[in-house]
């Protein structure tokens, strides 16, 4: 087992989010900020602006009329959801050059993460949740801690993944045995480092065990079920040989969805997934 303290020393060198996020955070926290103010910040980053427009016009956000300007995008989504979308875009862009390994495909990782994001949002809507602005980003970053290991312990993590896959061991257990800490704990610390709202740290922490407070139960259960559905549908992480564990029974108590409702969602999940990976990953 490695020294946890030495492992965490690397956290300071883990990438921060681009300036566009800190600028948005500062702008949105100012009660005097307007739609124009937020739109101007996004518009300065042409790549982000283009992807924001493509995303807002995708089925994921269900906007009835085509959105042609960033100002309209901000107006339709609201400050927090547009900020979360920019964070999702930024995270994928920040790690696009991360060195993959034999047992870890960055492309498959992002495909799975995006699948979890779009599915989380659809599950929230299907469950009757009125405010789902955090659901997409929560799904996208639920496993962000894995990228820490890939960046700083590339060879060791590759061997760990190979061992876990060959022996049908859960990744979190393998990480704890080797590193003394797992990607969930690392992910929590990254969420804090990035100054993300606390709900994202709680999702990362509890989507496996579903130990949540009632106020956070819906989003945590949605991400947990979304991850399972993404694996079940083969959306990313296709190189794993581990058994797909059944979802925690607590999920059904929270989301109150039946099998028929889930089956109806599958075509929407696939459609949203295919369009979202084209916007966030391929382009």
pTM, 2 dp: 0.93
DSSP 116-180: HHHHHHHHHHHTT-S--TTHHHHHHTTTTHHHHHHHHSHHHHHHHHHHHHHTT--HHHHHHHHHS
The domains of the chain are located at 4-281
pLDDT digits (tens, 9 = 90+) for 194-251: 999 999 999 999 998 888 766 789 999 999 999 999 999 999 876 555 667 788 888 9
Q: How confident is the model at residue 193 (pLDDT cuts 50, 70, 90)?
A: very high
pLDDT digits (tens, 9 = 90+) for 50-65: 999 999 999 988 888 8
> How is domain 4-281 classified at the CATH fold level?
Hypothetical protein af1432 (1.10.3210)
Q: How far is residue 124's CA from residue 136's CA, in Å, rounded to a whole number?
A: 10
What's the rounded mean pLDDT across residues 8-19? Answer: 93
């Amino acid at each position: 087992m490695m020294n946890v303290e030495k492992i965490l020393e690397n956290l300071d060198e883990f990438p921060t989010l681009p300036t566009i996020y800190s600028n948005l955070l500062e702008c949105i926290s100012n009660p005097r900020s307007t739609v124009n103010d937020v739109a101007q910040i996004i518009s300065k980053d042409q790549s982000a602006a283009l992807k924001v427009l493509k995303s807002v016009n995708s089925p994921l956000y269900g906007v009835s009329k085509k959105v042609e300007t960033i100002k309209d995008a901000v107006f339709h989504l609201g400050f927090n959801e547009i900020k979360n979308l920019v964070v999702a875009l930024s995270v994928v862009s920040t790690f696009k050059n991360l060195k993959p390994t034999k047992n870890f495909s960055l492309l498959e990782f992002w495909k799975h993460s995006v699948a979890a994001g779009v599915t989380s949002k659809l599950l929230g809507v299907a469950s009757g949740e009125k405010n789902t602005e955090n659901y997409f980003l929560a799904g996208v970053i639920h496993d962000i801690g894995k990228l820490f290991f890939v960046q700083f312990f590339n060879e060791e993590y590759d061997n760990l993944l190979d061992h876990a896959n060959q022996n049908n061991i859960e990744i979190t257990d393998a990480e704890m045995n080797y590193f003394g800490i797992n990607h969930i704990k690392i992910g929590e610390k990254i969420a804090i480092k990035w100054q993300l709202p606390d709900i994202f740290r709680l999702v990362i922490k509890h989507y496996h065990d579903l130990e949540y407070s009632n106020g956070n139960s819906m989003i945590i259960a949605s991400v947990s079920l979304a991850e399972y559905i993404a694996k079940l549908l083969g959306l990313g992480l296709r190189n794993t040989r581990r058994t797909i564990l059944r979802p925690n029974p607590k999920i059904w108590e929270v989301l109150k969805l039946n099998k028929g409702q889930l089956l109806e969602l599958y075509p929407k999940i696939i459609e949203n997934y295919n369009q979202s990976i084209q916007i966030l990953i391929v382009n």
